[in-house]
Amino acid sequence: MHFKFLSHLLGRIGSILFLVSTLSSCGIDSIAFLGSKVTLASSGPSSSVFLAPSVTEDNYLGVFLFYRIYASEVLAETDKNNVYNKQNVLNAVPGTIIESYLLSPGGLKYKKLTIDGDVPIPSLYKSLIPINTLVSIDFPTSTSVEPKITILKEASATISYIISRSITGTTGSYLSFRDKALDGQDDYLASTVDPDPNVDYIQFFAVTYGINQNSLQELYGDAVYIGRITLNL
């Protein structure tokens, strides 16, 4: 099984490199993309841990964190599988589905994560998460405690930030993940068959981000699933 996966991965990389080489030899600008990505270390119903990219490119600026809230875990799993199926198409250039599918209003409608009341670009800048830095997303059991993201450096340098939704309420402030998501809100997928109206699921993807230094075009790597939180309301 590992051999088949490795063969598929090498074949995909080889195809992309061949395409870039061919276009360059024909006098066409080569395709810029980000091949680096984060790695999921562990995940559970209340927390998730991932590793920052182990290798980065010159165009790399950091990592975006995207989320969507689901009424049904089945729908969340379906969307996760659809993302990977689209990315695994032979000759697919890394990152091509991010704007056209993952974030698109006509696609899955994932949203940028709000961090300490701001929606930074990208969510985590490269200086904050050096190579192989551990990052955790935690939703405490107590509903009076806001969820947070923690950069797990050495003990003296560990940093935590409150995370929240990136849509606003009637006061103009970003909504908390503790606020019940409602049908019609842009970051929520309701379900006609909701097995438990008191439970929602928050699914996260991490995507490397950068800028093509020649064209100033935004670049994305492939989306990596980094966990699904069970939210008891």
HEC string of the chain equals CHHHHHHHHHHHHHHHHHHHHHHHHCCCCCCCCCCCCCEEEEECCCEEEEECCCCCCCCEEEEEEEEEEECCHHHHHHHHHHHHHHHCCCCCCCCCHHHHHHCCCCCCCCEECEECCECCCCCEECCCCCCCCEEEEECCCCCCCCCEEEEECCHHHCEEEEEECCCECCCCCECCCCCCCCCCCCCEECCCCCCCCCEEEEEEEEEEEEECCCCCCEEECCCEEEEEEEEEC
Task: Give pLDDT, residue 173.
Answer: 94
| pLDDT, average across residues 199-216 | 96
Q: What is the mean pLDDT of the chain?
A: 88
Please tell me the predicted confidence (pLDDT) of residue 155. Answer: 64
pLDDT at 172: 92
Question: Residue 105: is its pLDDT beyond 80?
Answer: yes
Out of 6-10, 26-30, 39-43, 60-64, which region has the weakest mean confidence (pLDDT)? 6-10
Residue 230 pLDDT > 80, yes or no? yes
On the question of pLDDT at 56 being above 70, the answer is yes
pTM, 2 dp: 0.86
pLDDT at 14: 41
The whole-number pLDDT of residue 193 equals 81
Summarize the confidence of residues 201-224 as an average pLDDT: 96
pLDDT confidence of residue 153 = 80
Tell me the pLDDT tens digit for each residue of 118-172: 999 999 999 999 999 999 999 999 989 999 999 998 766 789 999 999 999 999 9
The answer to whether residue 13 scores a pLDDT higher than 90 is no
